[in-house]
Amino acid sequence: MKKIRFAVIIFILSLLLFSCNVKNDKELISGIFEGDGQSLMGPIKVRVVIEKSEIKNIDVLEYADTPGYSDTVFEFLPKKIVEKNSTNVDIVAGASLTSKALLEAVDDALKKADLYIEKE
Along the chain (120 residues), what's the average pLDDT of each consecutive run of 10 residues?
67 61 62 95 96 95 87 94 95 92 96 76
The tally of domains found in the chain comes to: 1
In a domain, 20, yes or no: no
In CATH, what number is assigned to the domain containing residue 83?
3.90.1010.20
Q: Which range of residues forms the domain containing residue 73?
A: 31-112
Domain assignment present for residue 10? The answer is no
Q: Is residue 76 part of a domain?
A: yes
Examine residue 48 and state whether it is found in any structural domain, yes or no.
yes
Is 17 a domain residue? Answer: no
Of 100, 49, 50, nearest in space to 70 by CA: 100
Residue 107 lies in a domain: yes
The C-alpha atoms of residue 40 and residue 27 are separated, in whole angstroms, by 36
Does a structural domain hold residue 24? no
pLDDT of residue 49: 97
Edge-to-edge strands of the sheet including 31-38?
Answer: 31-38, 43-51, 54-62
User: Would you tell me how many other CB atoms lie within 10 Å of the CB of residue 3?
Assistant: 7
pLDDT at 30: 93
User: Among 96, 95, 55, 94, which Cα is nearest to 78's?
Assistant: 55
Q: What pLDDT does residue 36 have?
A: 97
In this prediction, residue 70 carries a pLDDT of 86
Structural domain includes residue 39: yes
